[in-house]
Structure 1
């Protein structure tokens, strides 16, 4: 193939210049000779890149790996050659303090930062553009090198203009790419549509809430980058996001809001993050040992693992309404009669003994009722509850019945 015959001499020329600049005492070169060497190696690398891309485009599946290996080898040689020549051109003589740092730089070479790939969608354009401009476009690398990196990072199947036989120089290709994808109107429509089309979740789990949270954060960040005033959209975005949440989470959010105030978007996102954390699951493993004195030997019980909900209520925070108070001081809860309190705890899946999330009354390590010494909270004891909401007059000596079907028991 013609491309193969053209690529081989370019590789030889690059290696020849590399060996020459390593072996020579560049101090004897003047500035013009050094710049000429730099231009020469850059032109050979540009010829290598052009023919290499044509060969990769027409290569069989089993041949691609060999081409990529060759690319890495030639790219490293070219980079080293440019570094040597550029240092010589500047003529900078490091001082004693900088000399120590320079010697360390010669001893090792850091791994290059990976450039994210671009799949040709408006949704991923902004993230790719920011990274590519920082790592490649705004640097002083030669144009041929930048073009090679751009073709590596952009899929030619998704964006044919980058992988065509002749697509112009780097500046032309980058300008064409930005003209097509750096479109504020299309970017705004894409990310607003992503917000509006979040899939509603029926599962009240940490994973589903975090998926909604991440989508909202990513879309808002992109809209901020293109200059839209998202901080003023609370009244629009909050109802849209809330409508995508599971029913239980919607109810908890509405109970935490003031009835006459427009809720803030930041407050909703903070609520989602905290609730997702409280719904996350953990594996609790324990082992138990028992002494078999009657048989004269010890037996070790098998280890068991169970999934338990992480307790949602922090100290000083109501597990029922998420307000800044303990559950035992919750005015909403205390205003209920006995039956309403029991139903509220069932719906919120709270322990009947300590009024917290994460375990049943049987597993609760807290103490017993102060009035009847049974396994339930004193606020649920019939000895102190009357039929009046929140009343505390003795009416009967029967303890609160524990519903066997309730998951906490």
Structure 2
């Protein structure tokens, strides 16, 4: 395709000029030659951007990666060469303006303690815009400062705009051809630079502040940051927010946790209207003091099944008796009793929860002495399962008469 060939030619030209500028030792001070070199570089880069945008508009989504990589490479070469040429042009102009009749020459314009400094800063990133009107003001301010008011070619500005604005969220900047830079930028401003909608959005964010449910540094700072962001946005639109204290302070106070709200009310005067700025400073100091406090010691949680084995309540049948007296448990065979106690997660020895029989401080079986409850003893089940009630002694007639006589005595 023709655009691909034109772009390749432009890339070669930018690389060639970049190499020539970087290899030069800076002894060329011909102002006109330097300015012509800069114009040539700008024209090649503009040709690259124009054809790159056409190719990118027709490329499939999965093929965009290599194109973006090429863009970053060429943009870096272009920026580096432009910076060096502009510094040499500035130095040459300074030398021309400072050359007196004596013919003296001045040193480099950027000098620290006699050493010439060649500063190279990373390019400032433009915040991306995703179509959310809450982010429009920040994006517009940065883009107009860094790109729109610059002297870059129109094709370069359009390329930077398409880089910063997501075409999937804002379709009017995408497509094979969506117009020149001025047309696209004007369309964006007509859609998003709406004072009425922007004011309503930011005021709504202020009115719908989330209530701080807990007394934490994070919750308090979230309120402070949201209020500051809203105020900055409204000030940019020249809305007089400095006179909103009587309205804004009660709204913010209603979103605070109870302890912070009480301390703020104790601090305020009972007659004067408090200032929103003072409230935000108070919240900042309180948030920092909370974050500086040592975290409270956490008490160890102890697992306990005592609720299932409370004194006077049977864990097996929930009756009003201790589990070792439970008729349902006593009626079971020994092995089933073990199974029932295991399912209830109780100690085999004292029949309570929270520990095992090895850890149990209670005494052992009354029949065999081992670490299990007497109702779980396998040695003499007949004497444990159902203790027999003592039968009345057999009294003979002789004994009866003897007792009677003794009683009579």
Which bracket does the TM-score occupy, shorter chain normalised?
0.5 to 0.7
Q: Distance in 1 between matches of 2:111 and 2:278?
A: 51
Aligned match of 2:4 = 4
Q: Are 1:194 and 2:195 matched, yes or no? A: no
The Cα offsets for residues 237-272 of structure 1, whole Å up to 9 and x where unpaired, read as: 111111222233223322332333322212221222
Aligned match of 1:174 = 185
The 1:93–1:119 alpha-carbon spacing in structure 2 relative to 1, beyond 3 Å, is same
Q: Distance in 2 between matches of 1:19 and 1:270?
A: 54
The Cα offsets for residues 298-323 of structure 1, whole Å up to 9 and x where unpaired, read as: xxxxxxx9479xxxxxxxxxxxxxxx
Secondary structure in 2 matching 1:164: coil
Does the 8 A contact of 2:35 with 2:89 survive in 1?
yes
Aligned match of 2:76 = 76
Q: Distance in 2 between matches of 1:129 and 1:201?
A: 32
Q: Distance in 2 between matches of 1:247 and 1:130?
A: 39
Once the two structures are superposed, the pairs formed by residues 219-258 of structure 1 within 5 Å of their partners are 219-258=230-269
Cα deviation, residue 223, structure 1 = 0.8
The 1:258–1:19 alpha-carbon spacing in structure 2 relative to 1, beyond 3 Å, is closer
Cα deviation, residue 13, structure 1 = 3.0
Could you say which structure has the larger radius of gyration?
A: 2
Does the 8 A contact of 1:7 with 1:48 survive in 2?
yes
Cα deviation, residue 233, structure 1 = 0.7
The Cα offsets for residues 205-261 of structure 1, whole Å up to 9 and x where unpaired, read as: 221111111101110111111111111111111111112222332233223323333
Does the 8 A contact of 1:156 with 1:162 survive in 2?
yes
User: Once superposed, what is the RMSD of the aligned Cα atoms?
Assistant: 3.3
Secondary structure in 2 matching 1:254: helix
The 1:197–1:10 alpha-carbon spacing in structure 2 relative to 1, beyond 3 Å, is same
Greater shift in the superposed pair: 44-53 or 220-229: 44-53
The 1:29–1:202 alpha-carbon spacing in structure 2 relative to 1, beyond 3 Å, is closer
Q: Are 1:48 and 2:48 matched, yes or no? A: yes
The Cα offsets for residues 138-184 of structure 1, whole Å up to 9 and x where unpaired, read as: 33333333222222222222222223322333333333322322222
Secondary structure in 2 matching 1:280: helix
Aligned match of 1:271 = 282
Q: Distance in 1 between matches of 2:135 and 2:8?
A: 37
Structure 1 runs not aligned, ≥5 long = 285-304, 309-409
Greater shift in the superposed pair: 194-203 or 214-223: 194-203
Aligned match of 1:204 = 215
